[in-house]
Amino acid sequence: MKIETDPKKISEILTRSIADILPSKEGLRTLLCSGQQLRLYIGADATGPALHLGHATNYQLLERLRKLGHKIFILIGDFTARIGDPTDRTATRKQLTRDEVKKNVKTWKKQLEPIIDFKTKNNPAEIVYNHTWLSKLTFEDVIELASNFTVQQMLERDMFQKRIKEEKPIYVHEFFYPLMQGYDSVMLDVDVEVCGTDQTFNALAGRTLMKKIKNKEKYVVTTTLLENPMTGIKMMSKSAGTGVFLTDTAANMYGKIMAQPDENMIQLFVDCTYVSLPEIEDIKNTLVTNAVNPRDVKMRLAYEITRMYHGEKFAKKAEQDFVKVFQKRETPQHIPEKTLKVSANLLESLVLTGLAPSKSEARRLLQHNAVKLNNLKVNNPELRMHDGDEIRVGKRKWVKIHLA
């Protein structure tokens, strides 16, 4: 595949969603303009079954580079997920079993297919698993890798300093994590690693190992984290289960984006859509000058993102249902349906349909008058279900019940 070196395309790639480029932006620009095919990768640990829009930002950047002709790898950390990345953790991560990791990665490729091309015959993206090489390292290999780093370097990290201050334990295996992520770079022989800013330390460990083992320069491209610009709170978290997930239905995805604070809109446009930067700047100006209703801008944002992952047909339906429910106060035409046992009561039905994650949460929802049965507020957990009953929780969750 011919390598595209259009300076304008490269300039946008090196600007959009980029937090930093190490060791230098100009060095990477020169490399991208050279016509050489580069090897690039993103790694993500399989700590949960669903990817979110924060992950998608990185994958969209990688796909832009693939379209220029470069070779991209999607690395699934099926080995590192079992250890647990200590980054930003004030306590040790729970170690996952091999079966838990396998279950988590089962649908990742399908989730990424709307934004990454795995099927093209001309330079397809490739999925790799770090269990392939990390599981084969001997203890001698690990000692040799560890000799490239000091304990002081590890302890300088903020989360370890915080644990020391709070007298919380730091386990030796947590020091191995950046070594393993760094070794991924060596085994893939990459020129560039793309990651979130929270992964900078681990990515630079890979840069160190590439120099030591292969005498090769590796660039680290960090992307902006999706954070509320006013509060600094992360919008997305795979481990915590918060945010907009690629596994969400079209209706839920659209509704979750509409629920985002107004101040998050511009960053979501930049990092999570294909809308051009000049057009986003125009949108920003109309918001600043109050020339447009923020709700209308957010509806455009919700439509653009939902269309990317579910297609135009389902994005339009999600938009129409949203307008009916929230602007016209009507019931949506297409309500998810669930079949339950005849004996199920309302409390059990909330859990069995997925409207509540647990019985305790279902009770809380009922106590706070957040549940409607056939459009009437209810709080009696013992109510018996009837065929055709419609349960609604909050503003976005609906289910129609069928009894077996």
- Give the mean pLDDT of 80-106: 71
Q: How high does pLDDT run on average in the chain?
A: 89
On whether the CB atoms of residues 44 and 77 are closer than 8 A, the answer is: yes
What pLDDT does 240 receive?
Answer: 54
What pLDDT does 190 receive?
Answer: 98
Whole-angstrom distance, CA of residue 174 vs CA of residue 351: 36
- Give the mean pLDDT of 82-86: 69
What pLDDT does 368 receive?
Answer: 86
Residue 139: which H helix or E strand, with range? helix 139-146
pLDDT at 91 over 60: no
- Give the mean pLDDT of 364-373: 87
- Give the mean pLDDT of 1-26: 94
Under DSSP, the state recorded for 4 is: P
Confidence band (pLDDT; 50, 70, 90) for 162?
Answer: confident
Structure confidence by residue, pLDDT tens digits, 300-358: 999 999 999 999 999 999 999 888 876 666 666 677 888 887 778 899 999 898 888 88
Instruction: Of 49, 57, 175, give the one whose Cα is nearest residue 100.
Output: 49
In the chain, % of residues over pLDDT 90: 53
Structure confidence by residue, pLDDT tens digits, 181-227: 999 999 999 999 999 988 899 999 999 999 999 999 999 999 998 88
Residue 126: which H helix or E strand, with range? strand 126-129
pLDDT at 172 over 90: no
Least confident of 53-57, 217-221, 237-241, 266-270: 237-241
| DSSP-derived secondary structure for 26-41 | HHHHHHHHTTPPPEEE
Q: Which domains does the chain have, with CATH numbers?
A: 7-223 (3.40.50.620), 250-327 (1.10.240.10), 337-403 (3.10.290.10)
What pLDDT does 394 receive?
Answer: 81
